[in-house]
Structure 1
Amino acid sequence: MTSGLGNWRKSSKSAVEGNCVEVAVAPEVVGVRDSKDRDGDVLVFPQQRWADFLSGLRRSR
């Protein structure tokens, strides 16, 4: 399932060291991984669940 997640990106606000999470968006899913362990496990979420998560973050500001 993660083979289609090729375009990883991280926040422009990440620390100078670059340690943060990275996100890759595919047509139906979003992958999330630790930038310090790019070969490690990937969390995969359906697009709608990811959108709900981001919406919740925005509301909590």
Structure 2
Amino acid sequence: MENSEEQARRPDPELASDEAAIREALQMLHEIDDTPPQQMTALFYQHWFEQLSMTTRDLLRVLGHNPDA
């Protein structure tokens, strides 16, 4: 479950513009790349798996695909 800070940062995918979805994907990659190995715990991987899933769905919508099909 996301906390209020994450919910505020993450726009509704149905309302997000194409550019916003792309910017969010790039930001996510930078955050993952900037994480030191000693901070890559099981919780880190669980969190980023969920973020990656949501971001991939957003990008699929941008590309005109239904990720739930």
**TM-score, normalisation: structure 1:** 0.30
Which structure is higher in strand share? Answer: 1
Higher RCO by CA contacts (8 Å cutoff, separation 6 or greater) = 2
Q: Which has the higher helix share?
A: 2
Higher Cα Rg, which structure? 2
TM-score by length of 2: 0.27
